[in-house]
Amino acid sequence: MLKKSLQTLRRNLEGVVSSESTDIHMKWKYLAGKWMRSMSRSPHSESDRGASVPKEKVDCVVIGAGVVGIAVARALAIKGREVLVIESAPTFGTGTSSRNSEVIHAGIYYPRNSFKAIFCVRGRDLLYEHCSRHDIPHKQIGKLIVATQSSEIPKLNNIMNCGDQNGVNGLRMMDGLEAMRMEPELQCVKAILSPLTGIIDSHSLMLSLVGEAENHRTTFSYNSTVIGGDLEGDQICLHIFETKGLQEWNGSSVLCPELLLVPNLVVNSAGLSAPALAKRFSGLRREAIPPAYYSRGCYFTLSNTKICPFKHLIYPIPEDGGIGVHVTLDLNGQVKFGPDVEWIDSIDDISSFQNKFDYSVSAKRAERFYSGVRRYYPNLKDGSLEPGYSGIRPKLSGPRQPPADFVIQGEDVHGVPGLINLFGIESPGLTSSLAIAEYISTRYL
């Protein structure tokens, strides 16, 4: 099994070198061969391993091939850097990036001048442009944020102000009657129309970004997990382990790396696992790593209805920990409601690297959905909601705490040259991905 996966890595790398024989590609071909030889000599002996673990210098390593990691890799590669993406899963985008609402957010809710506000607005524009240029399925369908009772109107006004301050163009406050004329199934007393909000096929987006990154000679190494790192002088040395080996690991023996990488630049874009991984970088100040919280959001899909009840996305007033159980339409016309908010416990770090989070959607949660959704969609029929899927928000603030901003940490914060940690990249991370990548490739190169 181990050999097979390493052979795959070597085949991938050879596939890359076959077209262009550059330094980095030759290096990777050599490295993969060296790694395989070392593993076939002594796959389990820790004492041997210490001496024989292959070690290589590389230019840039991006940890995690979610939408943000891929976008960062692409941006670095376009700037001429040699990039290696290490991803624990067998392919890209299997984490939070494939478990979200696929909404291109306009940038309304986030505090003025926060990373979330700045990156969402910039990322939205970059995303629409990228989608048009690369024929990525998307639709700027617009959304309505609705107050369903007069007590919610002050909150709706605050949202409107916040959107205006963030420079979101085209927002319009409308009275309930006008909104309900636009959407006859809707019940509300007042609404904000956000014409810049849209939906996107996130898998096609990631595929196009991977393609562009590869065209700029980025190498994706799947089934490879970063299990930690340490400081060598003032550079970080990453410890890599084959993911399948982790699945066989009994948890009691010491986990020794199978490969060491010493990059000039490391971007920790491991999503839900980013804080847990940073804790395994010995030499990185613990105080620099924010506490991690996890909030599961479940979706229910609408069955028994062939005709989509809404033309726009419909969002209620945000709740603690999320932006409310909203109506989302995907590009196939499927209607889904969600995500709700359920705070869950963390799991151990090695399990989190393998994405062993609990994504099950309990049918019992439907009851809450019926009452929540009927506040703005009173005609929702009994028995029409079916459990869909769930995603987990990588949060930096816990229940009843004010929402935290994205955290992007470089040497100026944690003192380790060449290490960039991305923490708390929850919503609007998909919308912001190209802007986060632009920021990193501009600020840190």
Q: Which residues bind ligand FAD (CB under 6 A)?
A: 63-69, 86-89, 94-97, 99-103, 105, 225-226, 269-273, 277, 297, 339, 353, 355, 391-393, 425-431
- Return the DSSP state at 365: G
φ/ψ region of 148 (left if φ > 0, alpha if ψ in -120 to 50, else beta) reads alpha
Do residues 71 and 433 lie in contact, with contact meaning Cβ atoms separated by under 8 Å? yes
**Cβ neighbours of 261 (radius 10 Å):** 22
| Shortest Cβ 269–ligand FAD spacing (Å) | 5
Q: Which is nearer to ligand FAD, 26 or 359 (CB)?
A: 359
d(CA 343, CA 379): 30
Q: Which is nearer to ligand FAD, 64 or 403 (CB)?
A: 64
| Shortest Cβ 392–ligand FAD spacing (Å) | 6
Three state DSSP letters for 34-82: HHHHHHHHCCCCHHHHHHHCCEEEEEEEEECCCHHHHHHHHHHHHCCCC
| Shortest Cβ 55–ligand FAD spacing (Å) | 18
d(CA 315, CA 146): 6
φ/ψ region of 182 (left if φ > 0, alpha if ψ in -120 to 50, else beta) reads alpha
Q: Which is nearer to ligand FAD, 81 or 336 (CB)?
A: 336
| Shortest Cβ 330–ligand FAD spacing (Å) | 11
| Shortest Cβ 104–ligand FAD spacing (Å) | 7
Q: Which is nearer to ligand FAD, 28 or 110 (CB)?
A: 110
Using alpha carbons, list the distances in angstroms from residue 299 to 50, 58, 241, 335, 363: 47, 41, 34, 10, 10
| Shortest Cβ 60–ligand FAD spacing (Å) | 15
> Taking CB positions, which residue lies at the least distance from ligand FAD?
429
Q: Which is nearer to ligand FAD, 180 or 315 (CB)?
A: 315
Q: Which is nearer to ligand FAD, 5 or 273 (CB)?
A: 273
